[in-house]
Amino acid sequence: MAKSYALKSEIIVYRNILSWAVLFLLILMSASIAMAEETKLAITGNIKSEHGAIYFSPGDMAASKPVVIVTSSPWTTGKTRFRGVFLRDILDKVEADGTVLKAMAKDGYTVEIPISDATDYDVIIAYKMDGEWLEEDVYAPFWIIYPYDTDDELAQEKYYGRSIWQLTQLIVE
């Protein structure tokens, strides 16, 4: 009688350990799913879309024809390789119809970019820098980059200000 009681409580202890282990695994799994979820860029406003915003993850962008800009910039030392896609190609893809882009970043920064910049210059939406994906909470998911070195006109505050990093939203107006 006493023996079977001890056995029973031992089973309960094991069962408890097992349920804690399962719970721990579930927490671990949901944490890694949350980490794998990339921040995306939402394009809204005057675009062709049945259901509102069109979203692009860095992976989605990387599936399009890549463009590389090798340039110096106020934020990097020496020449940096930025990889991305032409802003004009993305605007074409979503059938953007307007004159200005209201760009917003994860850090709260906002700036207006004339759509004419996309055709006047080889502006890119960058997702990689020197071969690495842009870093989360620094520049990710996207960074608007102008070819500052190839056009003297671009190496000025006006265009640096439009070089928004942590870009998460573009509203076409």
The residues that touch ligand MTE, with contacts defined as CB under 6 A, are: 74-75, 105, 107, 109, 157, 160-161, 163-166
Nearest-approach distance from CB 154 to ligand MTE, in angstroms: 13
Query: Contact between 161 and Mo ion (CB under 5 A)?
Result: yes
Nearer to Mo ion, 52 or 161 (CB): 161
What φ, ψ does residue 128 adopt, rounded to 5°? -135, 150
Contact range with Mo ion by CB under 5 A, out of 30-38, 60-68, 80-88, 154-162: 154-162
Nearer to Mo ion, 59 or 161 (CB): 161
Q: Which does 163 bind (CB under 5 to 8 A by kind): Mo ion, ligand MTE, none?
A: ligand MTE
Nearest-approach distance from CB 76 to ligand MTE, in angstroms: 10
Give strand pairing partners of 130.
none
110 close to 160: Cβ distance less than 8 angstroms: no
134 close to 6: Cβ distance less than 8 angstroms: no
Nearest Cα residue to 142 out of 113, 114, 119, 173: 113
Proportion of the chain in helix, strand, coil states, percent, rounded to 5 = 35, 30, 35
With a CB cutoff of 8 Å and minimum separation 6, the contacts of 59 are 38
Query: Contact between 110 and Mo ion (CB under 5 A)?
Result: no
- Footprint of Mo ion (CB under 5 A): 161
